[in-house]
Amino acid sequence: MLVWGEVLSALDAAGQCVLVSIIKVAGSSPREAGARMVVRPDMSFRGTIGGGRLEYDVLHEAVSLMKNGGPAFQTRSYALGPDLGQCCGGRVEIAFEQFDLNYRGRAQDFSTQEGVGIFSTTANTCSSGPLERHVLPPAMDDPNSAEIVLNQGKLTERFGEDRPHLYLFGAGHVGKALVLAMAPLGFKITWIDERREIFPKYVPSNIRCIHLNEPQVIVKNLEPGNYVIVMTHDHKRDHAIVDAAVRRTDLAFIGLIGSATKRARTLKRFKDSGISEAHSKQLVCPVGITEIKSKKPSDIAISIAAQLLVVKEEQASNAQGGYRFAS
């Protein structure tokens, strides 16, 4: 969630809001530190801190603060077992931060920065009144730091989203289902098809549609770490795209919709054209998790989305020094 965009939207719509943030977790909890909600006076909200009784009580507390006043910033600790009757058994510390229209200009500035990329801020929570956030210069901003840390009155936060970029080739039935399934999952999506008229009139905000007669030409210019999914209406076009993709070694994922037979034929064509086995092994075909057998477009889309989430989390773990169990 782009936090400041939601704060700005809430201020424009309602004149005030509360930013709810999990700042510390001990034991089991439904969400991690850094999970947030933006709550409006009518109890509508965006984001989630995990649902259940915890979120229910926090929503009411946020609305009560807007109605009755109180400190601009405060924290409260919740024991998920004794206090709330939830079975997680952990404890979370929640920050409540109130905003009104006096903060709109600052929220606009932060919202603009979120649109550009990730940035971090620090603030002193011991002072009275709204927090005065200071943006850290890039040299002091650790991209591997925690989303939010409160230590001896100093609040350090990271905002914005580092979204992986998926290039989806093909706007047929499965392509349409896939963009809807992927819309809330934290990816940027470039959707490519030579048939301009086949794209829906409206698409989610994280999706850009491109009309391109020879879509394979875009592959050589992709950024390292991009994802590629191929599902056009033309097998020759599919092959041209994946051929261009597997000749690279720096893409995060190369997926091709199809069957085991299509995979075998594609790999043979790779071999005939001089592509090494090591490069060919990058291709995932059929694409999607194998446990889902359904051929319905919506089910295939969910299968592919789940597979991409697994890849995304594995890469995030590896980037942070994590490891995978052997399979």
Q: How far apart are CA 71 and CA 44, in angstroms?
A: 21
Give backbone dihedrals phi and psi of 17, rounded to 5 degrees, phi first. Answer: -165, 170
Residue among 18, 27, 22 nearest 54 (CA): 22
- The C-alpha R_g of the chain, in whole angstroms, comes to 23
Could you list the beta-strand ranges (E) of 250-294. Answer: 253-256, 283-284
- Tens of pLDDT, residue by residue, the chain (327 residues): 899 999 999 999 999 999 999 999 998 888 999 999 999 999 999 999 988 889 999 999 999 999 998 899 999 999 887 555 555 568 899 999 999 999 999 999 999 999 888 899 999 998 778 899 999 998 677 766 788 999 999 999 999 887 899 999 999 999 999 999 999 898 999 999 998 899 999 998 889 999 988 888 899 999 999 999 999 999 999 999 999 999 999 999 999 999 999 999 999 999 999 999 999 999 999 999 989 999 999 999 999 999 999 999 888 777 655 433 332
Residue 12 parent element (H or E) = helix 3-14
Q: How far apart are CA 260 and CA 88, in angstroms?
A: 43
DSSP 123-154: EETTSSSS---EEPPGGG--TTS-SEEEETTE
Tell me how crowded residue 245 is: count the other CB atoms within 10 A of its CB.
Answer: 25
pLDDT on residue 115: 83
Strand arrangement of the beta sheet that strand 148-151 belongs to: 134-135, 119-124, 154-159, 148-151
Could you list the beta-strand ranges (E) of the chain. Answer: 16-26, 36-39, 45-47, 73-79, 91-100, 119-124, 134-135, 148-151, 154-159, 165-169, 188-193, 207-211, 227-230, 253-256, 283-284
Q: How far apart are CA 56 and CA 300, in angstroms?
A: 34
Residue 124 token pair: 């002193």
Residue 153 gets the label, from left (phi > 0), alpha (psi -120 to 50) or beta, of left
Residue 121 token pair: 């801020």
**Strand duo 36-39 + 45-47: pairing:** antiparallel
pTM of the model as a whole:
0.74
